[in-house]
Structure 1
Amino acid sequence: MKKRLQKIVLTVVLAFAGMFIGNAQELGVRFGDVSAGNIAIDGIFSTGDFNRLHADLSFGDGVAADLLWDFLYRPLADEAFNWYMGVGPYLAIVDEDSYDDDTDFNLGAAFEIGLEYRFVNIPVALGLDYRPSLEVLDETSLHWGGFGLNVRYVFE
């Protein structure tokens, strides 16, 4: 049963990745602590003037997908410098022990608060964020880590 669930989750994650790359308004990389390692494909999908979907597909110790609904609070200092916060679910298949065949299925919610700078003359956005999370399944636990650096290309 566990192998079947892993195949279903992997199929959903790959479908999400295809949709993710095809429709993003910003696409880049997130370095730092993410749901399944320390690197992720990072994308932004605008849903309005002051909100957006912030999606990550991370790799490393497994495969994970995060989908956060962010609220933008701008401008902070000038037109290009914003801060944001949001919340949303994450789903991960993580290999806890590399020497063992023990794979965990994790489901939870993540909170995000961050700062972002969009360059005026070049289509690049840089961001720093903090993303603690609450794991609900496979076990219930609170993770206080989650600092990250986002580097994204802005499609306009």
Structure 2
Amino acid sequence: MKKIFLLAVIAIALSATQSFAQSYKTGAGLGIDFGDGSTLVGPTFKHFFNGNDAIQADLLFGADAVWLGGYYQYHQPLKGTPLKWYLGIGPQLAFADDNGFNDNSTFIYLRPMVGLDFKVPSAPLSFNLDWRPAWRLNNDSEFEPARFGLGFRYTF
């Protein structure tokens, strides 16, 4: 009887772990970049090539500019949870009309990131939160450490 009970507990634990392991291939939704300075909002898109490697693209609006970013991300599941942690990096361009720099109205940023991605096991929704400092590479280089990203996506 103890063996049957033990096998039942193991089967339930394995099925719960498998439901946590659910993931998604592609997601599209709303991205928010916030922190020191302006808040940027716009569409975001994430696509997984396999269980670990993903790309993310953001088209954000704010601070009198249009921001276009593309990032590579490496994901790993947190054991026993529906969360994945990730590391990423990529370029971001800001296209501004009047920015105080007469020589160039395009800003080039390098954006490293570390964060968490949560896929709701019973719904086609995912959420992410990350820390993504911004390092401007041109027009008087500047580093902004207090920037964060928040994403809400429909997954398919």
Which has more radius of gyration? 2
Aligned twin of 1:109: 110
**By how many angstroms is 1:77 displaced?**
3.6
Aligned twin of 2:145: 144
- Report the TM-score when normalising by structure 1: 0.72
The amino acid across from 1:65 in the alignment is: L
Aligned twin of 2:76: 73
Listed as ranges, the matches of 1:114-133 within 5 Å are 114-133=115-134
Change over 3 Å in CA distance of 1:55–1:76 after alignment to 2: farther
Q: Is the 8 A contact 1:31 1:148 kept in 2?
A: yes
The amino acid across from 2:71 in the alignment is: L
Give distance in 1, aligned partners of 2:98 and 2:133.
Answer: 19
Query: Where in structure 1 are there 5+ consecutive unaligned residues?
Result: 1-23
Give distance in 2, aligned partners of 1:108 and 1:147.
Answer: 15
Give distance in 1, aligned partners of 2:67 and 2:114.
Answer: 20
Query: Where in structure 2 are there 5+ consecutive unaligned residues?
Result: 1-24
- 1:64 equivalent to 2:84? Answer no
Q: Is the 8 A contact 2:125 2:155 kept in 1?
A: yes
SS at match of 2:95: strand
Aligned residue pairs total 129
Q: Is the 8 A contact 1:36 1:93 kept in 2?
A: no
Give distance in 1, aligned partners of 2:79 and 2:38.
Answer: 31
Give distance in 1, aligned partners of 2:140 and 2:43.
Answer: 26
The amino acid across from 1:142 in the alignment is: F
The amino acid across from 1:66 in the alignment is: G
**By how many angstroms is 1:108 displaced?**
2.0
Change over 3 Å in CA distance of 1:76–1:129 after alignment to 2: farther
Q: 4+ residue runs of structure 1 moved beyond 6 angstroms?
A: 100-103
**By how many angstroms is 1:145 displaced?**
2.2
